[in-house]
Amino acid sequence: MLFSVSQRFFFDAAHTLRRAIDTESSLRIHGHTYHAEVVVTGARDGSTGMVIDLGLLRRELVAVREALDHHLLDEVPDLGTPTLENLCVYIAARLAHLQPPVSRVRVWREALGDACSLELTR
């Protein structure tokens, strides 16, 4: 049996974005509240009954959140262009060491209705 365990967090951040539509407003520094969900999929450990200790997952997410929260995303090392897609990749990369591995990362902006999901297969 495989189980999926998830944990959510949010962060507030600013960014700029070069794009073909809404160019003027996107080029100005502006901010959003972002929400993220990380999913870990695996079998239960026979001795603990857990896929992953949620305390461990929360601790790892605190570090990811601190790297993004109240920052200018344009300046976050290894993020690249601050798109929802790149935020998913960035979060997954920061958690690549987890066992079992992250199986899905979702980032969304509730106020705008935008969302992106990254499905990881290992």
CATH number, domain at 57? 3.30.479.10
Do residues 5 and 40 make contact, with C-beta atoms less than 8 angstroms apart? Answer: yes
Q: What digits encode the pLDDT tens for the residues 26-68?
A: 778 889 999 999 999 999 999 999 999 999 999 999 999 999 9
What pLDDT is attached to residue 56?
Answer: 96
What pLDDT is attached to residue 18?
Answer: 79
Average pLDDT score over residue span 67-89: 97
Give the domain extent around 62: 3-119
Domain count, the chain: 1
Residue 76 has pLDDT above 90, yes or no: yes
pTM of the model: 0.93
How many CB atoms neighbour CB 31 within 10 A?
A: 12
In 1-122, at which residue ranges do the beta strands (DSSP E only) sit?
Answer: 3-15, 30-42, 102-109, 114-119
